[in-house]
Amino acid sequence: MSIPKNPDIRVRFAPSPTGYLHVGGLRTALFNYLFAQKNNGSFILRIEDTDRKRYIPGAQEDLLKTIKEVGLDYDEGPIIGGEYGPYIQSERSDLYRKYAQELIDKGAAYYCFCTEERLEKLRNEAKENNTAVMYDGKCRNLSLEEVQEKLARNIPHVIRLKIPKEGSTVFYDVVRERVEVDNALVDDQVIIKSDGFPTYHLANVVDDHLMKISHVIRGEEWLISVPKHIFMYESLGWKVPKFVHLPLLLNPDKTKLSKRQGDVTVEDYLAKGYLPEALINFIALLGWHSSDDREFYTLEELVKAFSLKRISKSGAVFDVEKLNWMNGWYLRNLGLEYIAEKAKPYFEKAGLDISDHKKYLRVVDNARNRAVTITEMIAHSEMFYKNLTFSDEDKDIISKENTKKLFSFLIERLSSQENWSENEIKGLINETIGAVGVKGKELYFPLRLALFGEVHGPDIPTLIDILGTKEAIARLKSVLNA
């Protein structure tokens, strides 16, 4: 159980509690998890709650719950703690202030007293000129006296990075290899906001260093801010971690995966009855692929097969169709008892009395062969529990003279013994064809309608097996007497 972890491999997933877990976030978490597991490293969970405006109470708990539900157990993080805690950024504020001060002392950062209005004006000007929006450096060279004086007068301020104007920053991303950015194009990023909280950039760098993170595995949207981060690492005299920027998850129209174009949170999918196994498997294949044609993996198998080297560079469209296919496959191929257990809350919520476990298992077994999600399984199961209702069209079929003869015959024969095996039912059907003189559609459609409420569906032996002889007879009688 307690093989010592490799201290050279430490990765983290650092969501911010601003809502439910995004599927893109799940993919990032998964790749971090896989890389850590594969190399006997540590997978750390850190909550980045430095944005007080977007903070949503309860979101952190939801995040933790979802991560647990999909099985991505972390080695250090909230609740379980760890050697490098606390793992919630709002509890680490003094640390960020301390290092921001150190950056100022080293000439790598400065106080900025510019007002929101002035910044807004700058932004508008930049937009008009069609250039990148950048701080113009007004406060870059304030004298110590000026700074002291403004501070003394309690003028609102932020702390900005003092990015060098010359040269360029070159770094190597594990996925993208060499990336070079001209320093003159790197903005003097705010690292401490006027409310005293750090921005992502500072908090991230400080925590990654303090928590001894070896590989920063995150979405590609962060690639462009790496020079800012490197500037901080180097100014503070810290070792720069390896960067692994994952290709983005895309909407069908190829833009960054977002709401509006469908479900984006893991909770959405779980609520609809997608299985964690399918979700994990599907999402692992978005931006990563083994060298062979294999598509089905358990989490453990993913750990074995995973490699950063096989992460692709281009964005991947999140194709629900393929997820559907995969979820259906898991529904059909995982253990029946397991699926039944998973489906229980959904069935109960739908108001179905599933207390007869043997019947429930048969119902589930039937439904899982016909559904893509657990929610869909309900639609294939309700008729085994609820009273059937018939349309006029249905009634026409049921009330035909031949059909009545058919039902009468079957009621009588069925009543002759308690339990019928599926084979015996098959025999009975053949017997019926001879005795009543109906066959094919004439036989099966009305029969299925009476037992199941629909002309299409499971075959008759299965239907009777699920319902039980008694209920089958009752249903036949009910339509016969209607």
**Long-range contacts of residues 475-478, Cβ cutoff 8 Å, at least 24 apart:** 475/388, 475/450, 475/451, 476/407, 476/410, 476/411, 476/414, 476/450, 476/451, 477/411, 478/450
What residues form DSSP beta bridges with 179? 171
> Which residues ranging from 269 to 288 are in contact with RNA (CB under 7 A)?
285-288
> Which residues ranging from 423 to 452 are in contact with RNA (CB under 7 A)?
440-441, 444-445, 448
Find out whether 466 and 363 touch, Cβ atoms under 8 Å.
yes
Which span sits near RNA by CB under 7 A: 13-21, 69-77, 143-151, 430-438? Answer: 13-21
130 binds RNA (CB under 7 A): yes
CA atoms within 13 A on the CB side of 193: 13
> Which residues ranging from 313 to 342 are in contact with RNA (CB under 7 A)?
313-317, 319, 321-322, 324-325, 328-329, 332
Catalytic residue among 259, 304, 400, 439: 259
What φ, ψ does residue 3 adopt, rounded to 5°? -70, 130
> Which residues ranging from 137 to 156 are in contact with RNA (CB under 7 A)?
156
Binding residue (CB under 7 A) for RNA from 124, 307, 312, 391:
312
Nearer to RNA, 285 or 299 (CB): 285
- Based on the residue annotation, tell me whether 259 is a catalytic residue of this protein: yes
- What is the pairing mode between strands 249-250 and 316-317? parallel
Query: What is the closest distance, in whole angstroms, from the C-beta atom of residue 184 to RNA in the complex?
Result: 9
261 binds RNA (CB under 7 A): no
What is the DSSP annotation of 101-118? HHHHHTTSEEEE---HHH
H/E element holding 68?
helix 59-69
Query: What is the closest distance, in whole angstroms, from the C-beta atom of residue 144 to RNA in the complex?
Result: 21
Binding residue (CB under 7 A) for RNA from 80, 224, 379, 474:
224
54 binds RNA (CB under 7 A): yes
84 binds RNA (CB under 7 A): no
For RNA, what does the binding mask look like between residues 85 and 114, x meaning CB under 7 A?
Answer: -----------------------------x
Rg over CA atoms, the chain: 31
Query: What is the closest distance, in whole angstroms, from the C-beta atom of residue 175 to RNA in the complex?
Result: 7
Query: What is the closest distance, in whole angstroms, from the C-beta atom of residue 342 to RNA in the complex?
Result: 19
19 binds RNA (CB under 7 A): no
Binding residue (CB under 7 A) for RNA from 30, 36, 109, 250:
250
Helices 401-414, 441-452: crossing angle, 10 deg rounding: 60
Nearer to RNA, 142 or 455 (CB): 455
Residue 95 identity: L
Binding residue (CB under 7 A) for RNA from 237, 434, 456, 481:
456
Query: What is the closest distance, in whole angstroms, from the C-beta atom of residue 199 to RNA in the complex?
Result: 4
Find out whether 14 and 47 touch, Cβ atoms under 8 Å.
yes
What residues form DSSP beta bridges with 169? 181
> Which one, of 39, 77, 263, 82, lies nearest residue 68 by Cα?
77
Q: Which CA distances in Å does 154 have to 74, 113, 148, 157?
A: 43, 10, 10, 8
Binding residue (CB under 7 A) for RNA from 248, 280, 410, 473:
248
- Known catalytic residues are 259
